[in-house]
Amino acid sequence: MSTARLWHLAWRDLGRNRRRTGFTIVAVALGLALLMMTNALIAGVVDDSLQNSIMLRTGHIQLRAVDARDGDVSVRWRDLLLDPEARVAQAAALPHVRSATPVLWAGGMLASAEESVGLQVYGIDPAASTYDQLRAAVQRGQFLASDARDGVALGESLADMLHVDVGGQVRLTIADSEGMAREASLTVQGVYATGIPAFDDHAVLVPLATVQRLSDTSRRVSAIVIHLDDARATDEVVAALASDGVRLQTWEQLNQQVIQTMQSASAFYVLLDAIVILIVASVIVNTLLMSIFERLREIGVLLAIGMRGHDVLRLMLLEAALLGAAGILVGLIIGGVGVTYLMVIGISIDRSVAGVAGDAIAISSTMYGRVVPEVFAGLALAMLVITTAAAGYPAWYAARLEPARALRGR
């Protein structure tokens, strides 16, 4: 039988029970739309967490002392870089480098009259362009002034926890290079809200000179943090900065935990994709089986007048492909609307939920989606192929019917 004739029969058969056909198309569409939105959200969260970590913590490249250990905030002199100004100037002059700034990290405790909390202290150059995004996130007061050595900026949630506000006094305690506890009274200059609980709840910003004085690390810093205008230029900049006496780390090395965690989570969603597609495929199989049982006599007539078994097989597979294609088309439209919503508005989550990931993964309190065309195309193709392939059993069943038995409706 000609392909054109099979197309005509397939359209006619699907139109006989429009309600069932419509429900099947809706099931396929909703399944694809769900997968598109889920994958867009996961891609957005992974990308957002990585970019947050690069922006607020690691940068694209770090220059550290050779003896410094990964993830360590030690202020021992052997773990620090001495007189970083020349290296900062060298890095800042390179192509693709947006900013290069020294930073001194230390573990510490911040206390108010009512509460105290352990956190990570960031000794920074307040004038550096690296912190422009933090300046924009200031909710009350102002960002650290370059000449205010007794100032401190902290997250809004941390300020609420300590019951302090702009102008309030807090005491910062740091262990110096010899392990002795030293403290200083600081004034809250600014309160910021980045929307990233891992940073807002666990970090405090203090002028570099103040942290150096408290930790007895004069002229020394933990690292030089470099931000690029294009992450693809990382290897080029690393090659230009390579020299004896320093250890260079890229954003991929510095965020290995984030990347591995998100890859593990993504593997789970691949399994979810497969489950949803198989459920949709079972709906199409059920639809075709019901259609075959309703049309046994008609199939018997077609076989009796000369239609071959392989033509019946092609007809059933064509009906499945049409159902799948129609559902995918509708699903792409619904999914596109859903992904747009996730990109523009996002999904707000409670800070406590965002904080479940720990302070190592910088998940925002609002999750946004991201368009991933290659993933969407792969999902649509996989759904079409699997749903059509799943129709193989009902198609094989129909093709093997004996005309006499089919005419009797058995």
The tens place of each residue's pLDDT in the chain, 410 residues long, gives: 566 666 766 677 767 778 888 888 898 999 999 999 999 998 888 888 888 889 988 999 999 998 887 777 888 888 999 999 999 999 999 999 999 999 999 999 999 988 999 999 999 999 999 999 899 999 999 999 877 778 999 999 999 999 999 999 999 999 888 888 999 999 999 999 988 888 888 899 999 999 999 999 989 999 999 999 999 999 999 999 998 889 999 999 988 877 887 777 777 878 888 888 888 888 888 877 777 776 667 666 666 666 676 777 777 788 888 888 999 999 999 999 999 999 999 988 776 655 555 555 677 778 899 999 999 999 999 988 888 888 777 777 776 767 666 565 55
DSSP 339-392: HHHHHHT-EE--HHHHGGG-TTS---SEE-----HHHHHHHHHHHHHHHHHHTH
Nearest to 60 by CA among 254, 256, 257, 251: 251
First-to-last alpha carbon distance for the chain, in angstroms, is 25
User: What CA–CA distance (Å, rounded) separates 368 from 338?
Assistant: 11
CA distances from 156 to 34, 40, 163, 361 (A): 35, 30, 10, 19
What pLDDT sits at residue 391? Answer: 79
